[in-house]
A and B are shown apart, each in its own frame.
Chain A
Amino acid sequence: MFSSMQGLVKVNNYHFFAGWSYGYQTNLQKLTKPTTSLDFDAYVYKYMFNHDQSYSCIYESTINANTMSGRVTLSVQSKI
């Protein structure tokens, strides 16, 4: 999946994110595109954090907060 520039907005409790991909697969749908002749489609997903799992549609996993924090480096002012 590729994300689009300025590709995230929040409306009430929902995050909408957009981008483009060649084909996609969710728990409910699948669209296969040839990798030899790329044919891209745009997408928009509507997502809510901490949603009821019975509404799960996309393949997702929760990232451990410490794991994510470990990939983040706060830059010192002199290097920005």
Chain B
Amino acid sequence: MVDWSYEFSEFTATEKPDDKWRRKEPKFITTDPTNPQVFYLSGRYQGKASVMQFTKKQGNMQWWTSFNQLTYIQSIIEVPGNSIFYGCGDYDVNDAFGTAITTTAYTAGIFKMDNDGSVKWMMTISGTNPVSSAANQDRCFGVTVDNANTGTLTALLQVKMKEVRSSTYNPGNYYDTVLM
């Protein structure tokens, strides 16, 4: 038996098919360690990285937070016994549809949220591609709590920024992995 269903419909019927407002990519469903009545859906909606809270019983949306400086959410994690959670992803700087995903510019972003939908902080991480003619591409694909007591995190970055890559390995226009 289906208790409820939820459809994310088009923003409008008149916009161009490639308009960013139509871009939606649901990615993660996560729970709330402090509130068993709700769950979170995170991903991309109306072109922006988004986190939504729904009630489990009725499927009602409680709140929706969208990010101006984040396009994709690539990772989201709960903190056991806590109402806060962390996430990360990347921002398609130019938001240029038609630009191949391999050549568009990205900055990485990491954020902290509370279960009332408020964003406590957000940081962006970016640098310069060692090949000047190529796009700057710095992205974040993972975040984990390193120490819950001290509130320290570890982030998994996929970067091209020359500023932090070792010259020993002759960095070029390819991705290196950074744990921060």
List chain A positions with a Cβ less than 8 A from chain B: 1-10, 15, 17, 19, 47, 49, 59, 61, 63, 67-68, 70-75, 77, 79-80
Residues of chain B contacted by A71 (CB below 8 angstroms): 125-127, 138, 161, 163-164
A72: chain B residues within 8 A (beta carbon): 123-125
Evaluate contact between B67 and A5: CB separation under 8 angstroms: no
| Given known A3-B142, A61-B168, contact A17–B124 (CB-CB < 8 A) | no
Interface centre among A1, A6, A15 (most CB of B within 10 A): A6
**What total count of A-B pairs have CB within 8 Å?**
102
**Within 8 Å of chain A (Cβ to Cβ): is B119?**
yes
Minimum-distance CB pairs A-B, first 10: A8-B142, A3-B141, A61-B166, A8-B156, A7-B142, A3-B158, A75-B122, A10-B144, A7-B141, A6-B75
Size of B's binding interface in residues, CB under 8 A: 42
A63–B111 alpha-carbon span in the complex (Å) = 22
Cα-based distance from A50 to B74 in the complex (angstroms):
27
**15 sampled A-B residue pairs with Cβ under 8 A:** A3-B142, A4-B141, A6-B142, A7-B75, A8-B141, A8-B154, A10-B146, A63-B180, A67-B164, A70-B163, A72-B123, A73-B126, A75-B69, A75-B121, A80-B67
Does B154 lie within 8 Å of A79, measured CB to CB? no
A15 touches B144 (CB 8 A): yes
Within 8 A of A (CB), among B81-137: 111, 119, 121-127
Q: A3-B156, A6-B74, A73-B125 are in contact. List 9 more A-B contacts (CB 8 A).
A: A3-B139, A3-B142, A6-B75, A8-B155, A9-B142, A61-B166, A71-B164, A72-B124, A73-B126
Which residues of chain B in 143-180 are interfacial with respect to chain A, using CB atoms and an 8 Å cutoff? Answer: 143-146, 154-158, 161, 163-164, 166, 168-169, 175-180
CB-nearest residue of chain A to B180: A68
Q: How far is the CB of A68 from chain B (nearest CB, A)?
A: 6
Complex Cα spacing A58 to B5, Å = 47
**Which of B69, B138, B139, B141 is within 8 Å of A79, CB to CB?**
B69
Asked if B67 contacts A1 (CB within 8 A), the reply is: no
A61 to B179, CA, bound (A): 11
